[in-house]
Each structure stands twice: as structure tokens, then as C-alpha cells.
Structure 1
């Protein structure tokens, strides 16, 4: 972690995060509740064909990630899609995008807290300890801890994120190695639910798996706290979809190879599918404890750590721009974090934990995420039209082909969601527009002032950053290709 530097053009946030923290905050937000809950439920529907849904989910994430790389490098300030849409499409669209990003990330963190409680209960049960609290209480207590950490400062957040995610990766590697003697090597494995291979069924599975990729642009929300964002933001976004694919594919391969073929269908409704899969395979003891520890204290904690911090930055930026109550635009006098915004975000998370339903939370998050991505992709087009002279350290190719196709794909995916969750998302959007109208009442629509870009790195620093990125790129590419090969071999047998 480099020394923090305040941006003199902004209101006190510190640029503390390098490439490693930018990657781990982004990937840590994504690798968690989706992979270990609804994403793993898809294994109970598709079996070894799950890799096809995962590959499709990655492919529909790549081009939007390139658009966010362009916008993030050109506008590396707190707020992400809110800022991009406000400048490219107008303030009301910015409000809709930011407001839906907030409820999406709130949903992710709430679901993650519940998932943590499920796996913690399994972990303690394997050690012969009964957890005396309900899952909802455990989830709420966990959220409070991470809310306090978010107030403590972004430097603390970045350091913890590195620790959580690297712990998760190390435990995942040991877990897979410990399971190798138990992985099935013979006979074909059928698709547990053949209806999932119909066009409609497969699209629904892709949507559930795509929740494991949603949030790939989280680093953009913290653009004002990233060092040399002109380089670090695009590079993190280039790698994120492939890194998420590698992790998801590895765990899916292990689950399909572990669970007896005739029992795979039971994973479709399991609350903790990986723990249930090990039970079905008769694998308990150290591997089960290791798995639950890695998921709970690595994957779940990394998502909670980033999922609490990012939406607070959106609310802070919206308040600073007059689109939300001004109290949320204040920084903590000592730690320079949006403490009031963190507090209200925490309240929303506790309310969603109260539903106790990860399936409902996932649907709400998917609606909001797909909606704000549609706005964000359209914002990239708007910025090209209305801000042609904007300095763009990176420029996405084929904008007028890739952007419309991506919007169409995401709109089609929205048709697969729970109608009640979609209705709740629409009501949330209407509330956001009402709040925006009240906060902007009587205020003139002055053009948004763009602060100058922070200075680029010097020659020596650039060489160090280039070497670091090349290492990351080679490792991620090798991991993605290895995981793809393992899964295709399992599918072909």
C-alpha cells in the first residue's frame, strides 16, 4: 500500500489504492454471495454444463467493462456511474443510476451477511459447536463490524481487502488439493434438470450466474481514492471479468466433480450449496472446515468489506452534487470518510437482512444492477457525443456496435427476474427521483464542473506499474484457461 495522497481538487478523499487494491476491491465485491449461493444452485440445474452459462456471463460482461474502463480513466472521481450518467445523459439519469447502484450493492452486502451466517453455522457445527444466535442476528452483527471499518478509512479498507481475498485464494487452492482424492473420475454426469437447457431455462441460469459477475466496475465508485487512476482503473477492469470467471469456474468444477451425479439436483435449492455438496459426497472433517473458513472469512468478508464502502461513496457524491440530502456529503473530521452515508447504507442493509431470503435479495440486486448498467452503457455513448474533447487515457473500440448490443442483452436478461423484486426496484427508482426533485427544487441546472485529472506517474513509477500489470495479466490468463480446460473435460466425458 502506497502512502495516501489527498487530491487538492476534491473535498478531502485520499488516493491510497494501487493496482492490487483496485483489483481486490473490485473482485472481492463480486466473488462472494453469488458464487456461494445462487451461482452454485445453478450447478444443481445444469451440472457440468454450468461452465457454458458461466462463459456466457463472462462474455456479456467484457464489453461493458471496457466502457467503464474508458469512463473511469477519463473521470476518476467518486461516484462512478452516477457521474458518468449525469455528464453524458443528464442529472436525472445520473440520479437513477446512482440510486440503483446503491440498492444493488446494499443487496449484495445483505445477502453476503446472510451467506456468512450460513457457512459460519456449518463451520461451527463441524467443530461440534452450536451457534446460539439466529442467522439474521449473526448477519446484522457482522454488518455493524464492517460499517465501523468503513468509517475507519479507505486505507484500512484496502489493507483488509488484500488480506481477505488472498486468504480466500490460498484456502481455495488448499481446499481443491485436499479434495483431489475424493473427486470423481469416471462415468458421465447428466444435466440434473433438462429444462434448464431450453433457451428460456438457460437464459435464467445465465442471469443467476451473471450475479457472480455483477459489480465488476466497483473500483469506479472509488475512483477518487485510487492512485494513478488513468492506468490503474482500466487495467483492473480489463482483468476483472476473467479473474471472476477463473474463480467461479474452479469452484463449479470442484463441486460437479465432487458430488455424485444422481445427487447434483439437490444443490438447486440448498442454502449453502458447497457445504451441502460435501455432505452429499460424504466428505467431512478438515476439508469441510477449511471450505467454510475460506468462504466465511475470505470470500464473504471480502465482499462485505467492499460492498459496504462503495455505495457510501455514491451517496456521498450525490449529496455533494445536491442530488441527495447534504448531510450525506459530510466527511468524518479525522478519517475523511463519508460516515453519515455509511450509516444510512447500514440501515438499509439491516432492513434487507430482515427478509431472510437470499433469493429475493438476489432478484432485487439483479434488477437494480442491470438497470444501472443499461444507463451506464448509454452514458458512454452520451459522453462521446456531448464531451468529445474529454481526455480519455483509454478509449473502448466499436462503441456504436458494442454499446447497443450490450444494452439489448441486459434488457432481455431483465425479463427473467422475479416480478416482485422488479416491482420493488421500480418503486425504489421512483423514490429516488422524488428525492432528487425535492433536493434540486429551486436550484439551477448549472453544468457539472470537471476537476482536473490527477498527475500521471513518472517514468520509473510507470515501469513498475507496467511490470505489475504484466504479472497480473499472465497469472489471470493462465488461471482462466486452466479452469476452462478442466470444465470442458468434465463436460465432454
Structure 2
């Protein structure tokens, strides 16, 4: 924006008791409730970062990178994404407002840049909601194939669509949307409880693997794939790992709803990234112990990771895997519904989308229009199948990585010594934070290059690149349509509804 407003207060929403908005409050400027407790915010970040892949894909990761390659790759990935996470925690101290990256970029780089970030993030978060919903159906399909593979509808990109799967995925989306519409406190409590159950299940699986190793001797899956040197094996995992942690960035989307000091956000983000890393490492380690050196990966199994865990723990192991993956999917559904709706709400208030997206319902103080739109959009996903949806999700990695880079650059600007008079969020550590944010921006650029450079282990395929091109063209057309309204909005109005929302 052309002028830099002073940092908003950390209590940008209503009081934590959830008092209703004044009778005359406009629903397009009414703020959200400040009800999110630190444990809930931690759960939003952790549950979003640990999705279905942590429990579906460990056997695949072992085959691609080996035990040592997978463990080292995910450890390095967690450290790298943690460096980027520091910039998020830094900037939340100065701008604890709803909208996250969109608000950060609007403040530091202006409206057009903010539109780019918002356009990509809104799609990315909604697609992840959709992917998690189809993952719920996929779990049931693997557990009850005879029931779920009834009433075949059609096939999309090689993926068979069955009516029971469509119904289950749709119910998951509707239930999550309804819960979010009923209030942030309800979704926050649910997220925390689900994360606790998830962690308990993972710890139990890890203990089962350790007990098996102590009883039968620890015999791990090979350290690296046969015929592969360590460096490429680790690189394959590092290329994947950063996007395995997508979800920690949900924290700033709801920063305007904190009921605590925004200074705690940095610790919560790093704690969530670290815990998510430990979950990934625990599942890789347990799967390696279960596979053993012979590498019996159960190639015909619908869910190889669950089968190998059940091989050392029996039915209890499979039950724990089912609980863990369902909690991972549920927390991903909930966390990204929160984020998607907040991005849409911020875009509506910033004149990037029609104003009704910015409305906040008076009773529960939730962005109900944005929540309903997110849910309605995601309801299309079960009808297209996971193959086609995965192309779009892969494409959204570009937008998420761009948001990472913008946030780090915004933090770099905010930490400039010349800005010391505007806020005291960084104190004497300002030069250190500035160096970390610059490193985070460079890492984001590196992750972006991994998506495009030929021969890169993370390079996008043809279909995701086509989807990316289509979304960029649509964004350019939409910006052209909205450009006059966006640029005509008074500076003070945008500051008021985005950076200084009224209680």
C-alpha cells in the first residue's frame, strides 16, 4: 500500500467471550471473534501439515529414498521449512490480522501483488480441502472395497468414480463447512482433540515398532535404494518434504482471531513444524522396521503401509493406522477450510472479489459466505476423481511457494533498520531476523525452481503445468475485470477493513 499503517493491535476481533457485534455493525466490516487459544492454533498448524500422506506413503518414500534417505530428507525438509516459518512468526508480531499472506503483501507490496497471492492461495487451500475429502472416501474404499465399489458412475483420468465414495466425500465437506460456520471455537476444539488422538496413535505405532525390534532384532529396510547413491536419494525426499509441511501457514490466516499475544505465534509455528517432522520420521522409521531388509512391500495391497504395520502389530496396528489417517484427514479438512474461507473473506474486503465474500455472520461471527463458497466449490471434487484433482493440487504448489517467498520478503522489509520507529517487534535481533527472512526468500525461490527445472525430482508434469497455465490466464482475466474497483478503493478503507478491522 502507498502508506504503511501502524501495526494493529493483537486483539483485532471481539472479546474472547464471544459477545455479539453491535446492532448497527455492517456485516462487511464486522470482525471475527478472538477465541483461538494457543493449543488450538498449534493444532491447526500441525493437523494441516500432517495429512493423509504421512500414513499412506511411507512405504513409497522408503522405496524412493531408502531408510536413511527418507529420514535425512524429511529432517532437512523440516529445517528448511522451519526457516521460512520464522518469517511467518516474525510478521505476525507486526500484522496479527485475518488474511495472512494477502494482508502481508498488501501492506508491503501493494494491491496487484496481493491479488496474485490471494488468487493462488484461495485455490490451493480449497483444493487441499477437496483432496482430503476424497481421501476419506479412499480410506473407506481400501477398508470396505465390496461396499464402496458399488454403483460405478464413470471413469476420469483412469480413476473409477463410485456413488458411495461421492456421498462420503460430500458428507465430509458439508460437515466440516457446517462446523466452521458454527464458530471458530467449535472448529478449534475439534482440531485440538483430533490432533491429540492422532499423536497418541502415532506414538502407539512407534512403540509397537520399537517393541518388535527389541524382541526380534532391529532389521531395517535398506538405507538407500539399490544402485542409487546417497545424494540423489536424499534429494528426492528433500524435493518432496517442503510441500509435505504445507499447513503451518494456516496460522497467519486466523491471526485476527487469536485470544493471546501474537508474539507466541513464532513458537507455535516452529513447534508445529517440528512435531509434524517427528510424525513423518516416526512413520518412516516404523515402516522401515516393519518392512525389514527384504523389503516385502505388499505390492498387491491397497494400503501397503497399513499392511506392513499390521504385519508386526496385528489387527491393532491396522486399527491404529485407520485412526491416524482419519484424524490426519479430518484435521486437514478443518484447518484448510479455516484458511480458505479467511483468504476469501480478506479478498472480498480488499475489493479483489465481490464484497459479499467479506461478510461476517452476526451470531457466530464467522465468514459464512466464504465458508459456504469453499464447501460448494469442493463438492465438485468427488465427481472428478483423485487423479484429475491431484493435477490441480500439484499445480497449487507453485502458488503456495510464491506465498512463502512473498512473506519472507515482506518480513525482510519490515525488519529493515529504517522501520524501527514503526514498531518494536524485533528489538535488537532485527539484523538476525532480516538475515533469516532473506534466507527464507532464497529457499522459496529454490523450491519454486524444483517445480520447473527439467530433471528436478519435484518437477511438475504436463497436466499440472496445463492447469497452472489455465489458472494464470483466468486470474489475469479476473484481475482485468476487477482492476478498476480494486485500484479505486480508498487507501484508508483498505487499511480499515484489512489491517485495522473494527471490533
Do both proteins adopt the same fold according to a TM-score greater than 0.5, normalized to the shorter chain?
yes
Q: 1:85 aligns with which of 105, 119, 122?
A: 105
Root mean square deviation of aligned Cα? 3.2
| Structure-2 separation of matches of 1:32 and 1:414 | 21
Q: 1:145 aligns with which of 172, 175, 181?
A: 175
Q: Alpha-carbon deviation of 1:444?
A: 2.3
Q: 1:57 aligns with which of 57, 63, 77?
A: 77
Aligned to 1:157: 187
CA distance 1:6–1:372, shift in 2 (3 Å): farther
Q: Alpha-carbon deviation of 1:191?
A: 4.7
CA distance 1:399–1:186, shift in 2 (3 Å): closer
Which has the larger displacement, 254-263 or 39-48? 39-48
CA distance 1:91–1:383, shift in 2 (3 Å): farther
CA contact (8 A) 1:25 1:161 kept: yes
Q: Alpha-carbon deviation of 1:131?
A: 7.5
Aligned to 2:8: none
Aligned to 2:372: 343
- 1:230 matched to 2:274: no
Give the TM-score normalised by the residue count of structure 1. Answer: 0.81
Aligned to 1:479: none
CA distance 1:175–1:203, shift in 2 (3 Å): closer
CA contact (8 A) 2:16 2:35 kept: yes
Residues 137-190 of structure 1: CA deviation (Å, up to 9, x unaligned): 322221111111111111111111111111111222233334544446344532
CA contact (8 A) 2:129 2:337 kept: yes
SS in 1 for 2:287: helix
Residues 364-407 of structure 1: CA deviation (Å, up to 9, x unaligned): 34222212212222232344469664425345252464244323
Aligned to 1:444: 488
Q: Alpha-carbon deviation of 1:78?
A: 0.8
CA contact (8 A) 2:66 2:233 kept: no
- 1:120 matched to 2:136: no
Aligned to 2:253: 221
Aligned to 2:474: 431
Aligned to 2:158: none
Q: Unmatched 5+ residue regions in structure 2?
A: 1-14, 151-162, 453-457
| Structure-2 separation of matches of 1:341 and 1:173 | 36
CA distance 1:180–1:63, shift in 2 (3 Å): closer
Aligned to 1:489: none
Residues 342-377 of structure 1: CA deviation (Å, up to 9, x unaligned): 122223323344232275355234222212212222
Q: Unmatched 5+ residue regions in structure 1?
A: 456-493
Q: 1:253 aligns with which of 278, 281, 285?
A: 285
- 1:295 matched to 2:325: yes
| Structure-2 separation of matches of 1:195 and 1:401 | 38
CA contact (8 A) 1:258 1:278 kept: yes
Give the TM-score normalised by the residue count of structure 2. Answer: 0.80
Query: For residues 371-386 of structure 1, what are the structure 2 equivalents within 5 Å?
Result: 371-384=402-415
CA contact (8 A) 1:311 1:345 kept: yes
| Structure-1 separation of matches of 2:31 and 2:237 | 43
Q: 1:22 aligns with which of 41, 58, 61?
A: 41
Query: For residues 170-319 of structure 1, what are the structure 2 equivalents within 5 Å?
Result: 170-183=200-213, 185-187=217-219, 189-191=221-223, 193-194=225-226, 197=229, 202-263=234-295, 272-278=303-309, 281=311, 284-296=314-326, 298-319=327-348
| Structure-1 separation of matches of 2:419 and 2:301 | 49
CA contact (8 A) 2:412 2:438 kept: no
